Structure 1
């Protein structure tokens, strides 16, 4: 699958293998039904090679899978038949690296996202000015046109929160995220106002870990857990580093990060008290 990270290719293969087992077919029998060589089925299932949405559909027909949600999800994960991105982010191929496009594709396909941020406001909750300041600081010396394009991408990503079936986002933020004056006081005031407004959305929950909570699991680095409709077998943890993103797919990793996130939510303020703290910090940021 040329348009997705290796983790998606492996996840897709694992899910197809599980469905084949459930159907009672061997890989040889599945290949014979489709007129393929058995090695093609094996390469797809191990993630060694990609698979087009059309071939995913043929496999699901062979396995008598008629769940429309599952069929749609697996076809989307497969990508387009010619191996190229077809999402809006395809227009920015010359601006954003493949790993960032992979991340955006996962975000667009996910049903829920659970994120921890210890330094900056999550991208889905950033204002344009805040996004510009963060990007400019992270990529020192970036040309203006490139900076403009990256900010456009950041804001376009936020469409997942405004569509008919929006992403359900739960964000746990360290209090330091709100205290750091990214872009200066004016930019930060507008960003805090925006966070308060985002708490009004029923599919967005923001919880703050106050300084008074002391140390806590997750303090050493941010992460995102993407979960997908129909099957948890496709869930993935993404760790962001300066030059690349790292994808964790093992069941043990998913359980560990899921448990850590639940623990952090328990240490954090409730959504209501978090909103009060955001409002209080906003008042302190008066000119």
Structure 2
């Protein structure tokens, strides 16, 4: 069973990165900082690794040692304060740590670009589809864990309805519309939810039809999380053994370009609505084969 722990939020990771950058700009090694400030070196590594939040007094000591500017002090203090704010996901102890980390990032994102091959994106799943998907793909978890994950998935969807809603651009391979998950009625209801989501102003939905043949991206699904500011976007890929987070500029650029290719291959939003309507009718009538 994967380990559980509170996930570092994006704010804490930004804080840790900025603090490390200030140390490096001051020309200090971690050992030199430990000698200069009396702060335990292991503690400093944990702070810079976004494993722990420093006390306000420790932060002032470090900023004094780095001769940080008033602007840098204000930025780091604000980030530390924001990182201390507990969100719902940090209290969900039953969720695997990597999944909790992803949800924490997602809750702070302003935009999500999601490409899926075999499944409906989690932000657009019905409760019944989510439950059937989790039971089918993670067969070794308990019933309580299944329900915990379903609840988390439904809670995530609230991001699409918050005052400043999350912007979602989802590209889905048509095979996800044809794969029977949970039964015909579940799939029929899922198509209705997709059609409703496609009408929302903050949601763009495209389906790649089977007629597209082979195309870039067929090797695996991914999510590109977009955050305010520059240089903080994250690519997330879920794996059977472990999840992968990519944050380098090169990776972000590569997956951004890949998503552009996927958008070009996919049917446009209007044609996608037609595909969804056909899929809904086919599931209703039992005509969902190839």
Shorter-chain TM range is: 0.7 to 0.9
Structure 1 residue 96: Cα displacement: 1.0
TM-score when normalising by structure 2: 0.79
Aligned pair partner of 1:47 in 46, 49, 62: 49
Corresponding residue SS for 2:199 = coil
Question: Residue 127 of structure 2 corresponds to which residue in structure 1?
Answer: 128
What is the distance in 1 between the residues matched to 2:235 and 2:282? 35
Deviation readout 1:31-54 (Å, 9 max, x if unpaired): 99xx94699797478537643485
Question: Residue 71 of structure 2 corresponds to which residue in structure 1?
Answer: 65
Question: Residue 4 of structure 1 corresponds to which residue in structure 2?
Answer: 7
What is the distance in 1 between the residues matched to 2:49 and 2:209? 42
Question: Residue 288 of structure 2 corresponds to which residue in structure 1?
Answer: none
The answer on whether the counterparts of 1:110 and 1:226 sit within 8 Å (CA) in structure 2 is: yes
What is the distance in 2 between the residues matched to 1:53 and 1:127? 42
What is the distance in 2 between the residues matched to 1:96 and 1:169? 23
Q: Are residues 62 and 256 of structure 1, via their aligned partners in 2, closer, same or farther at CA, if it must alter by over 3 Å? A: same
5+ unaligned residues in a row in structure 2: which ranges? 286-290
The answer on whether the counterparts of 2:172 and 2:206 sit within 8 Å (CA) in structure 1 is: yes
Question: Residue 17 of structure 2 corresponds to which residue in structure 1?
Answer: 14
Corresponding residue SS for 2:278 = helix
Pair 1:144 & 2:156 matched: no
Question: Residue 253 of structure 1 corresponds to which residue in structure 2?
Answer: 251
Structure 1 residue 71: Cα displacement: 7.4
Number of residue-to-residue matches in the alignment: 271
Aligned-pair Cα RMSD in Å? 3.5
The answer on whether the counterparts of 1:14 and 1:45 sit within 8 Å (CA) in structure 2 is: no
Question: Residue 91 of structure 1 corresponds to which residue in structure 2?
Answer: 91
What is the distance in 2 between the residues matched to 1:53 and 1:226? 30
Q: Are residues 140 and 43 of structure 1, via their aligned partners in 2, closer, same or farther at CA, if it must alter by over 3 Å? A: closer
Structure 1 residue 111: Cα displacement: 1.1
What is the distance in 2 between the residues matched to 1:254 and 1:156? 27
Which structure has the bigger radius of gyration?
2
Q: Are residues 3 and 149 of structure 1, via their aligned partners in 2, closer, same or farther at CA, if it must alter by over 3 Å? A: closer
1:175-186 correspondence to structure 2 within 5 Å: 175-186=174-185
Structure 1 residue 114: Cα displacement: 0.9
Corresponding residue SS for 1:202 = coil
The answer on whether the counterparts of 1:109 and 1:228 sit within 8 Å (CA) in structure 2 is: yes
Structure 1 residue 229: Cα displacement: 0.9
Corresponding residue SS for 2:211 = helix
Q: Are residues 169 and 281 of structure 1, via their aligned partners in 2, closer, same or farther at CA, if it must alter by over 3 Å? A: same
Between 205-214 and 187-196, report the one with greater CA deviation.
Answer: 205-214
Structure 1 residue 197: Cα displacement: 0.5
Pair 1:264 & 2:262 matched: yes
Q: Are residues 117 and 75 of structure 1, via their aligned partners in 2, closer, same or farther at CA, if it must alter by over 3 Å? A: farther
Question: Residue 235 of structure 1 corresponds to which residue in structure 2?
Answer: 233
What is the distance in 2 between the residues matched to 1:226 and 1:113? 5
